Structure 1
Amino acid sequence: DMDVQPLISSSKWLQLHGLKRKKLSLSQILSQIGFQHRIDYVTTLGKLVASRYADGLFPQYMREQDGSVYNLTAKKELILHFVDCLMGAIELYQQRMEWLTSESRLIFGVIQERCIVVVLDFGTAAPTEFDACRDALSMVLMEQVTQIAKFNLIRAAQDLMKWQEKCASVSEHTVKSAVKWLWKLDHMTAVSHSSSAEALLEAMSETVEAVYYFAVGDVPAETKQLLLEKVSDGPCPVNTVSFNAREDETVIFLKELSHLASGRFHAFVQKNYCRVATGPALKCEEDDKDLIAPNSRKVKGRTPLVAGVREDVFLVWKELEEARSTLRQVQKILSESEQPASGDGIIYVSFKRVTTIFMISILNKKHKYDEYLTSEEWLQRYGLKAQKLTLYDALADCTFRHADGIVDIKTKPEDESSQTDAETKRKVIHAKYCDKFVHTFWKDGSVVHVYVTTEKYKWYEEKMRTALRQVEGRIKWLQQGSRGLFGNVFEDDVYILIDTSQSMKDKLPLVKEKIFQLIQEQLRHKKRFNFVKFSAQAVAWQEKLAEVNEENLQDAWLWIKGLEVGSSTNTLRALQIALADADTQAIYLLTDGRPDQ
């Protein structure tokens, strides 16, 4: 958690945890497991010089990006180490992305400064929306402001309202005090077209690192003009946060304002707002004994499309995709170093200790990566039979037939001018040296003698150890992430049915975690998907299968995060919903017991 959750920008976070910092980029890994096969022009010699001494001595790997060839010298243990490191990096990036797109970070972005003032412009918010804003801001105070040094709150109004005259140091007491002040604000407060600009100027008069402008709804035209005139050249950056803007022009304006004020921009649109019947939104005791965080309300929503892609999320997503691509290529190196390739890249043909390398061209053939293979297909490619490591395959060149008694022997014909076929003569043979060799029955039932040299044994042992590591690696991979619960999802159009009955109460957090991993690792590579939750009733996320895109994946994850346990288990209704969709290719049913309806 400490690695995932620091309040810093994604660019700074990646400087600490990115692939290059951890020396896990593809070029860095290749430089640690081999060396580049070069053909360079040497100016002193005035001609091309190639590293031919490496030809035929090492297995090779050709980078798809630029076609450069590397001679591989590392042991398999080192390559497996990089595979484990990349898997760990992928999990870390997934956790950072999930953290960035949840709770207060989804609503407000990430507070990156240590001393800030937040200007609250509630505009013409309706009472329900006003409460939603205060819930959201309470969450920001409890989750993020508690981790910085100083802060202040100013409400834009005709009569300016400040929580404190100057920025106050962050403590448990001051944060509680700010939340109470927030919830005592009157919804009906007079505002003018200059209130927002005046509040921002007042905020910038304090010695702070940044000002946050939290704008609810749309910004009037006359207010926009004043903000552009007064705020653009301020003494500190102004970060704008759009909350529930109705018009796209408002989002575009606030984004432009943050750019002119050297700040950052964030936008959030509420999807729905519901009050749980268990109690009020916030409980504030005058004696400071209890302060309940705003968990009794749930503010759900997403980034509006017009706001574009969040830069902080995009940077981590880009690093995540690079880590996945690098992992695939390192796994490919690991498999191809021992296996003949299937028509692409480089083929390695091994004869005991000597490796002969052949380069072949790619003719419109796509390699089916190991992660998309069923276990049956994987064994057909990497199993003992495929590698000719079964007992009979391994001993094929180490056996000779047991011969005892009358046998047929082919001899040269007496008259070669009239007969070309060999003549068969019968001869009595006595196996005098049978006791010198091991006797065993061959697969056809015949008796053979076996003689295994030391070199043959060592060669077979090395090959078998490598094969076992591959199998162990595959088993470990199948048990990791979403595959530990779902296995490999091979179909393109899938339904996931989630049991949310009362018996799932303790299991639901794990299910949510695995579904997040499923979205990140597998569903994003499919065509269409849908979720159905079921307890006494069954409810689908969408009416039909939804296209796989970033917006749908994010919306689906927000829906999954909001799942709560119900009562009974109506599995039949959930299955009926999934089967009613004619395009459904597969249904994945998550349940802990049999139906009770």
Structure 2
Amino acid sequence: MHISDCRSVVKLTLADESFWCFGRAIELYQQRIRWLTENSRKAFGLIKGARVGLVIDVTAVSSGSQKEEFQTDFLSLIEEQLSHKEKLYVLSFGSTTSALWPDPAEVSSSTLQELKLWVKSLQPEGGSNLLQALRKIFTLKGLNSLVTIMGSCPDQPSEILSNYIQQSTMGRGLITHIITYKCNNQVPLAVLKNLAEAVGGYYHCYSPETEVYSSWDMDQLLAEIQKAQSLLGHIQALLHKTPCEELTSMMKEISTEIAEGPLTGLLPKPPKHEGPLTIEFPNLDKTSAEWLKINGLKAKKLSLYQVLAPNAFSPVEEFVPILQKTVSSTIHERAMVQFEWHDGTVKNVHVDPPFLYEYQKQLNRALRMYERRIEWLSLASRRIWGTVCEKRVVILLDISVTNSMYIIHIQHSLRLLLEEQLSNKDRFNIIAFGSTIESWRPEMVAVSHENLQSAWRWALTLRCQGSRNVLSALRKAVEVDFRDKDKHQSQGIYLFTGGIPDQDMVGRPCPGHPFYATNSWFQLGS
């Protein structure tokens, strides 16, 4: 049911039947959202079309527990959605492509069993050559739906993929689905949406780690809910002019369903989302810049110039009295190599192979150390917030109405930060902002177990509303929480936002304060 079907609600007559039409519409939205967040539809969305071609990025398979998760989710997709199609064609891709059948196959118990065994045999490989896979599948005839499941960022830019898909699908009536499976950190949601919209298709993104959930279907429902909220406002304005106790009570009930039902109660939540924090005491973390001062190539004396310096010699140029002229030294090319130095001069360099072999081993050890550091930075709260090293911290949370579908993700991201990185700080505060600002405490308070738990309980009550008034939140942090900034050295402001501020922020952020901005749900049009 479309909200426009209930326009009669705004008539001054305000008939009971019209109100129930509005209530039934809200109930339908709730049911639809619940249905879309169940089983295979949560992981892959709703697959449209009867003759479906699936293109699967084998990096989605990964290894270990994620491989088992993908197999479980895909088997659920087969049972719940693909088994009801007429024809199927499946193609995996990494650096190369591999198809299960040479042509689209009729759906039957035997073909479905083949597909299940094929999925279990998939192995990850390097590369994500989506363009090669698309070229192969577009040669097939008889498909009316294309489903692309990506596990990592494709090797080709989205502009090239978009142009190729548009050209290849022109006049074919092909329904296009673009799905990211647990790789929203590699394929930003805005890029996914732009690519899907450019080809006139559908998009779906779900990441259980951060509870980012977005799809074309869900966004359409959100748009209808926002229309409902707008219509509700008009009706409430009319009720002030034509009071009716029964109708007013009914509208309050509908308002509560809109505000609390679809947007928060029905979105997927991590386990124990509303439970108390499990607080850890972190190590004394350093920023990467500080860490590199100790572990970088220069600190380890492993930069190329540092290694070559003992065996690098400048060409000699001297005046020889007996010859009465200036003579430059020459050297045989087999003995030394001429190498341009960092200051622009040329050095004669000679390095023995054993020396180079040892240097290579040291570089490999350093490389593994940097890889471990990157992996550590990409885990849990550090993936979202980075390393929070300051002792006095203010967190600014964007709860504008455009982030309504991401409120669970906002809360979960804050929970990870409170649990993992704030327990060793001195003082903190949290400021949420939409059109107006809402502060957890009037000013920064000492970090304690009780205060962290209190901040989390407060965060669970947040509701998205209004625009994105970043400037007011920054002003509150600077003028109230950091008014005695000159007495303290280690302090920072962390802005967690989903788009462009209402105001022009050029030159306005916080002089004298470390300022960090993070955006991890990447809204379209922001």
TM-score range, shorter chain: 0.3 to 0.5
The structure whose residues are more often helix, as a share, is 2
Using structure 1 for the length normalisation, give the TM-score: 0.34
Using structure 2 for the length normalisation, give the TM-score: 0.38
Higher relative contact order (Cα pairs below 8 Å, separated by 6+ residues)? 2
Q: Which is greater in Rg?
A: 1
